[in-house]
Amino acid sequence: MPEKKSPFNLSTCARANILALQPYRCARDDYKDDGTNILLDANENAYGPSIPSSIASSTTSSIDFLGLNRYPDPHQHELKQLLCNLRNTHVHTPKNITPENLFVGVGSDEAIDALLRCFCVPGRDKILVCPPTYGMYSVSAQVNDVGLVKVPLLPAPTFGLDVEGISSVLSSPEGETTKLVYICSPGNPTGSLIAKEDIQRLLEHPTWNGVIIVDEAYIDFAPSGSSLAEWVAEFPNLVVMQTLSKAFGLAGIRLGAAFTSPEIAALLNNLKAPYSISSPTSYIASQALSPEGLAVMASNLSKIIAQRDRLLTSLPRVPGIGRFRGGIASNFLLVEILNQAGNPCNETALAVYESLAGKRGVVVRFRGKEVGCEGCLRITVGTEEEVGRFLTEAERVIAEVWKSGKGLSGSEEEERERSANGVVA
């Protein structure tokens, strides 16, 4: 048969911003889990989900009672109330937030994207981000054909918010088309908690008409009372995003929430796809937010903090480990890897990262390409056993890298070729 002809040309048919898109990328794109690896790369909760033992031990036949032949609840009022109960601490306001203040979606990523679609006109408007920060803000902006303004965080070790720099942008003509400011607190990969007063200064900017979004994915690892979720009752231009993926150990159910004013929440709920939260997801999340589930979460959280303290004490004793950068308000640490001259070095850090994952089965994250993170690896806090293995293997691998001479020389071009392409998390 003759070959069928078609005028179809993907390069001219697809949107140019999608063709040029650098996708979200993680360490497991390079190092697949074979069941033996120690995964200290994605800031997951190594102690497992915050599910009461009575539920966790039940048989899968219980799924029959979830009514899976029916579409799930489109409004999730009861789940939203449980989230409100958790965050109505009255530390930041005497007011209560209610389910009308909430949007729940498929992880925080759905909220990130929904906010862009809600407020930004493609090809015209922009968002502002503060690198080093979570990569999905930029990915979602590019997908939606929305511009990107970058105001880096203040230099390490504080990685604080450059309020003056951000305010300057918002006061300029560029501020008229900058609709959203994404702030990660505690930061990823910095682990630093952003000062409440700095966020308030931006919320009270005298001329800017836009929304401040605070991403609190790691807030439960920060000191008690740090969450600003209930503060949305005071500021109509504030959105606080959270997730059950981290402290609650429920990354697999993909449940995120955005606390905001009832007016913004209504817009977000109006534009979302129907039934996006499945019945099993809602059920498991509700169990995690029950008194029994919260007790499990608190127990696991104390174990993670103990292992975080262990890393803070033990890592500096390892030859080749430099300074901690950023804060400790998360379940990960950002640390420098030194070359033999005693300087933080991307080539050395990259060699250590590759050897740990490829030869020793310990997967961490190389973050040296991020602003202010030269020579840095991000280490997720694991279980007692995992942290012990990481410390042992890190010392061995750094010694091997030094002995091999890696990190003593090498051009930026060579380093770039070895580094993973694309946006990383």
pLDDT tens profile 339-394: 999 999 999 999 999 999 999 999 999 999 999 999 999 999 999 999 999 999 99
- Tell me the pLDDT band of 8, cut-offs 50, 70 and 90: low
- Tell me the pLDDT band of 294, cut-offs 50, 70 and 90: very high
More confident residue, 46 or 245: 245
Residue found by looking up tokens 């089965």 in the block: 361
Task: For 192-248, write each residue's pLDDT tens digit.
Answer: 999 999 999 999 999 999 999 999 999 999 999 999 999 999 999 999 999 999 999
What residues does each domain of the chain span? Answer: 13-42+295-424, 60-289
- Tell me the pLDDT band of 39, cut-offs 50, 70 and 90: confident
For residue 362, CA distances in Å to 28, 47, 68 come to 11, 17, 38
Q: Tell me what pLDDT residue 59 has.
A: 45
169 neighbors 178 (Cβ within 8 angstroms): yes
Task: Please state the rounded mean pLDDT for residues 265-287.
Answer: 90
What b/e string do you get for 84-118 counting C-beta neighbours within 10 Å, with b at 16 or more?
A: bebbbeeebbeeebebebbbbbbbbbbbbbbbbbb
Task: Note the CATH number of domain 60-289.
Answer: 3.40.640.10
Q: Tell me what pLDDT residue 235 has.
A: 94
More confident residue, 61 or 104: 104
Task: Please state the rounded mean pLDDT for residues 65-75.
Answer: 77
**Segment among 112-121, 162-171, 294-303 with least mean pLDDT:** 112-121
211 neighbors 174 (Cβ within 8 angstroms): no
Those residues whose C-beta lies under 8 Å from the C-beta of residue 93, and which sit 6 or more positions away, are: 230, 231, 233, 234
- Tell me the pLDDT band of 11, cut-offs 50, 70 and 90: confident
Q: Tell me what pLDDT residue 18 has.
A: 56
Q: Is the pLDDT of residue 422 over 70?
A: no
More confident residue, 47 or 283: 283
149 neighbors 174 (Cβ within 8 angstroms): yes
- Tell me the pLDDT band of 420, cut-offs 50, 70 and 90: very low
- Tell me the pLDDT band of 128, cut-offs 50, 70 and 90: very high
Range ranked top by mean pLDDT from 112-121, 169-178, 262-271: 169-178
Task: Please state the rounded mean pLDDT for residues 298-314.
Answer: 97
Mean pLDDT estimate for the chain: 88
Q: Tell me what pLDDT residue 91 has.
A: 97
Token code pair at residue 355: 């050897």
Q: Is the pLDDT of residue 46 over 90?
A: no
Q: Which amino acid is at 263?
A: E
- The fold of 13-42+295-424 is Aspartate Aminotransferase, domain 1 (3.90.1150)
- Tell me the pLDDT band of 68, cut-offs 50, 70 and 90: confident
- The model carries a pTM of 0.86
What values do phi and psi take at 408, rounded to 5?
-85, -25
Task: Please state the rounded mean pLDDT for residues 128-138.
Answer: 96
Q: Tell me what pLDDT residue 32 has.
A: 59
For 39, the enclosing helix (H) or strand (E) is strand 38-39
Q: Is the pLDDT of residue 416 over 70?
A: no
Helix axes 262-271, 107-119, angle to 10 degrees: 100
- Tell me the pLDDT band of 418, cut-offs 50, 70 and 90: very low
More confident residue, 425 or 121: 121
109 neighbors 23 (Cβ within 8 angstroms): no
Q: Tell me what pLDDT residue 405 has.
A: 81
Quote the percentage of the chain above a pLDDT of 90: 73
Task: Please state the rounded mean pLDDT for residues 161-190.
Answer: 97
CATH topology match: 13-42+295-424 vs 60-289: no
For 239, the enclosing helix (H) or strand (E) is strand 238-243
